[in-house]
Amino acid sequence: MKSILIAVQVLGAIACGAQAGTQRTRMEAEYYVAAYAEHYRVPVALARAIVERESNWHVCTISAKGAVGLMQLMPMTAERLGVNDRCNPSQNVSGGVRYLAWLMQLFHNDLRLVAAAYYVGEDKIIQRGLSYRNLDVLAYVSRIRTAYLREAGNESSEKPISGEKDVR
């Protein structure tokens, strides 16, 4: 009986430690998202919406297609952005936010095209623009829009970039 009680206490302590580690990791990730978004002039709400959709704030999530980390960077994209460790929150978010900033410049702050290009790559969106009607892409852009608007409502101090277009 005493050994069962000790085992329960140990498991409880491990669970509490894991939960504290998860909270610490989430706080660290949120810090990097806000800091890099501000630095690269990307709306914080957009960066947060992308992280939420891509990884649900899990630092080293790996997709079936090989995307890794908070912002789900593909190997070639990570290499292009100089990200050596896609599971490192700082490197991953820095690379992902720099990619968003580049896409915003490429697509003249049209966040619909930015979100679509983040999902399928800029080449497909450059070729087809708004006529790209893949249902998965449309659903992704819609989800990013919903999360963006929710996040933007929570970020009342965030100042929009001039000329920023709606994600609709």
Residues annotated as part of the active site: 54
Tokens of 120: 């399928």
Tokens of 150: 């929710």
d(Cα 95, Cα 110) in Å, to the nearest integer?
A: 20
d(Cα 151, Cα 43) in Å, to the nearest integer?
A: 10
Phi, psi at 146, each rounded to 5°: -60, -45
Beta carbons within 10 angstroms of residue 151's beta carbon = 18
